[in-house]
Amino acid sequence: MAEPDPKAPAGATTQAHKAGMTGLVVSAIGVVYGDIGTSPLYTLKEVFNGEHAVPVTPENVYGILSLVFWALMLVVSAKYVLFIMRADNNGEGGIMALTSLALRAVKPGRQAWWLSTLGVFGAALFYGDGMITPAISVLSAVEGLEVATPAFRPFVLPIALVLLVGLFVMQRRGTGSVGAIFGPVMLSWFAVLALLGVGGIRLHPEILGALNPYWALHFFATQPLVAWLALGAVVLAITGGEALYADMGHFGRRPIKLSWFLVVFPALYLNYLGQGALILDHPAKVSSPFFLLVPDWFLYPMVALSALATIIASQAVISGAFSLTRQAIQLGYAPRMMMVHTSEREIGQVYVPGVNWMLLGAVIALVIGFRSSSALASAYGIAVTLTMLIDTVLVLVVVHSLWHWRAVKSLVFIGVFITVDIAFFSATMVKVLAGGWFPLLIGALIFTVLTTWKRGRGVLNERVRVETMGLDIFIPSLFNDPPPRVTGTAVFLTPWLEGVPRALLHNLYHNKVLHERVVLLKVETADIPRVADAQRLEIEALDYGFWRVLVRYGFKEDPDIPAALAQCAARGLAFEMMDTSFFVGRETLVSRHSSGMAPWREKLFIVLFRNAGSIADYFCIPDNRVVELGAQVEF
């Protein structure tokens, strides 16, 4: 960090800090709040028109608006902004970071297994959400053309599909080039939301009374079944709220908090109030209260702005899926995949082609299959509410076991959030047969893949470890029958530093030589986002020119073996890359049905293993320095 200029005028540093904070706030508005920021497009429309449509009466309108306000207050403001964001893992948030934090608070065993399972399932659900968000958001924006004239109705689906295909094709170019406009565009979006809301409120200023919790309680007291079913649509107002926590590592807690309370929350609720006032004044306009709130002269520009805002919201979700995939690979839950870094300055910006095309295929199928945002709304919300419930359970473990809150205080405080989460989740479960099965199915499939890979790698590593000769036996044997030595350094990647890598034995058996310096290298992923340089390396010199090197990375870092080895020089182990060869074992698995896994899961793991990406590419090792030695392993 640059030192402040002593010649600068008093207050210059403070002004620079404020300018930096303002930039972070604007950027957070663009990246963090795209999903929840586009919810006014469809939330009230679905409440009063969906499968469990609420009758349009003044009391019901007040009750729904009150529910929306208190949902935003309790779930987004209180739970995520003010509370869960305090549970950061070295400044990082998100369900994987929270899971690592919770696991740190308990001892290995059945409780740790359950917490890990919950966290992985919550992460898997994100992919289902990542498929539905672009589809419903872009469709709801383009449907605004139907409000202008029914003549556009046949073109809504084609236009939405073109926009979505363009969005996913653009991913390989990265978000760096367009990221700078996200903040200003979304800031304009929220300003327009607020202005439209104020215009609607002028029709019925008394609509401001909906902030009173009396209306929400009265709604439940007089129509409990209708109110409970309405929660399944009201939840659309808070979808994307969990992004506040997931993106904390990019912007910090304070900019996210300031942008929520100063800009996003007021603009969102003003717009909801404006739509409610419009419905009270013109009940027939309940068919599309968002776009019918827009003046005729501004309708087409508003459709364009809505489309741009929904594309930005979709971009944030897609980028989140790429980031989550990278974390899953780092933590050992997914096989290596091809990843492209799309920014020279921001190492966290990655593009994962396999995930990108999977999401695009699912989004196209959703748009063609459901054909409207109203139909898609039936599939939306279940994954989000279940993820929010999992977040609450995990944070309960953190506050009780890591923060050492007393049991009564923990249960009372968290009990409020769990009650709200269960209410929303139970209401969305009614949607399962109408489309809610889709995100649950996607979540279950991805959860199966993630856990199968984790379990399979564990079994395979244990099998290799048991069959591997120990270094304490191997190195002394070299003194008795020394093989010819050749110049240079051989680096053998291994998951077990106490044993002899298979690749080393194969090289010695086939080539009858040993390099003058042999380095056994293990890469380990810590349960923190980033590892400090001081803790990056552990180096140990052994007899006969052997070295052991342990390289640690955080789950949000990209492994770069050449860069890590360059740091070894200061510890007495210098590498000349052109004189260094990397030996990698490439195992072929042969099924013997003795792995302890179910046969179908064993076959799935073997398929995943065969199609895993190149280890050289993943660790940034130059291809011309890699030697692969094959071996069969019974699994």
pLDDT tens sequence across 478-493: 888 888 888 989 999 8
Distance CA 50, CA 275 (A): 16
330: pLDDT strictly greater than 90: no
Residue-level pLDDT at 20: 67
pLDDT greater at residue 114 or residue 110: 114
Banded model confidence at residue 474, pLDDT cuts 50, 70, 90:
confident
Banded model confidence at residue 6, pLDDT cuts 50, 70, 90:
very low
Distance CA 473, CA 463 (A): 19
Selection from 489, 423, 429, 71 nearest residue 268 by Cα: 71
pTM as predicted: 0.85
pLDDT greater at residue 5 or residue 186: 186
Residue type, 305: L
Banded model confidence at residue 11, pLDDT cuts 50, 70, 90:
very low
Distance CA 118, CA 408 (A): 23
Number of Cβ atoms within 10 Å of the Cβ of 47: 30
Distance CA 590, CA 586 (A): 13
Please give the average per-residue pLDDT across 598-617, as a whole number.
86
195: pLDDT strictly greater than 90: yes
Helix, strand or coil for residue 92? strand
Distance CA 127, CA 351 (A): 15
Number of helices followed by number of strands (H, E) in the chain:
27, 8
Distance CA 304, CA 144 (A): 9
Number of Cβ atoms within 10 Å of the Cβ of 425: 20
Distance CA 625, CA 525 (A): 24
Residue type, 380: Y
Q: Where are the domains of the chain?
A: 30-94+131-381+417-435, 456-634
593: pLDDT strictly greater than 70: no
- Kindly report the average pLDDT of the chain as a whole number: 85
Contacts (Cβ under 8 Å, ≥6 apart) of 402: 101, 102, 104, 105
CA quadruple 541, 545, 546, 549: dihedral sign: positive
The least confident of 236-240, 294-298, 341-345 is: 341-345
Selection from 287, 236, 221, 237 nearest residue 431 by Cα: 236
Distance CA 274, CA 18 (A): 33
Task: Answer whether 98's CB lies under 8 Å from 398's CB.
Answer: yes
Task: Answer whether 352's CB lies under 8 Å from 334's CB.
Answer: no
590: pLDDT strictly greater than 80: no
Distance CA 498, CA 518 (A): 14
What Å distances lie between residue 437 and 52, 383, 430, 431, CA to CA? Answer: 18, 10, 10, 8
CA quadruple 170, 172, 175, 176: dihedral sign: negative
Distance CA 67, CA 309 (A): 25
18: pLDDT strictly greater than 60: no
| Segment of 76-80, 123-127, 195-199, 397-401 carrying the highest mean pLDDT | 195-199
Q: Indicate the helix (H) or strand (E) that contains 581.
A: strand 580-590
347: pLDDT strictly greater than 60: no
Retrieve residue 423's tokens.
């209410």
413: pLDDT strictly greater than 80: no
Residue-level pLDDT at 519: 93
Retrieve residue 331's tokens.
């933590």
Distance CA 397, CA 410 (A): 9
Rounded (10°) CA dihedral 216, 218, 223, 226:
-10
5: pLDDT strictly greater than 70: no
- Give the model confidence (pLDDT) of 501-524 as tens digits: 888 888 888 888 899 999 999 999
Residue-level pLDDT at 409: 78
- Give the model confidence (pLDDT) of 140-168 as tens digits: 989 888 887 788 888 889 999 999 998 88
Query: What is the arrangement of strands in the sheet containing 546-553, beginning at the earlier edge strand?
Result: 537-541, 546-553, 514-525, 485-493, 580-590, 626-634
Retrieve residue 327's tokens.
């974390």
Beta-bridge partner residues of 491: 519, 582
Residue-level pLDDT at 349: 64
Please give the average per-residue pLDDT across 40-47, as a whole number.
92
Distance CA 617, CA 447 (A): 26
Q: Where are the alpha helices (DSSP H) in 224-297?
A: 224-234, 243-246, 248-251, 253-259, 265-281, 289-292
Banded model confidence at residue 219, pLDDT cuts 50, 70, 90:
very high
Distance CA 581, CA 492 (A): 9
Residues written for the chain: 635
DSSP state of 239: T
Residue-level pLDDT at 8: 44
Please give the average per-residue pLDDT across 210-239, as a whole number.
94
Selection from 72, 432, 390 nearest residue 232 by Cα: 432
Residue type, 416: V
Burial per residue of 139-157, b for 16 or more beta-carbon CB atoms within 10 angstroms, e otherwise: bbbbbbbbbeeeebeeebb
Selection from 241, 209, 222 nearest residue 129 by Cα: 241
Residue type, 560: D
Beta-bridge partner residues of 517: 489
Selection from 75, 55, 52 nearest residue 423 by Cα: 75
The separation between CA 526 and the C-alpha centre of its own chain, rounded to angstroms, equals 18
Beta-bridge partner residues of 582: 491, 626
Q: Indicate the helix (H) or strand (E) that contains 30.
A: helix 12-31
